[in-house]
Amino acid sequence: METSTALETLRFIRGLTMKSLDGLDQTKLTTIPAGFKNNILWNAGHVLFYTCSFVYGPSGQVNPLPESYKDLFKANSSPADWKEAPDGAKVIRELGTILDQIVADNAAGKFN
Q: What is the pLDDT of residue 4?
A: 80
pTM as predicted:
0.91
Tell me the mean pLDDT per 10 residues along the chain, length 112: 78 94 96 95 97 93 94 96 95 95 92 82
* 13 alpha-carbon distance from chain centroid: 12
What angle is formed at CA 26 by the lines to CA 99 and CA 86, rounded to 5 degrees? 65
Q: What is the rounded CA–CA span in Å between residue 26 and residue 108?
A: 35
**Distances, alpha carbon 33 to alpha carbons 7, 19, 27, 97, 103, in Å:** 32, 20, 12, 27, 35
DSSP 98: H
* Amino acid identity, position 12: F
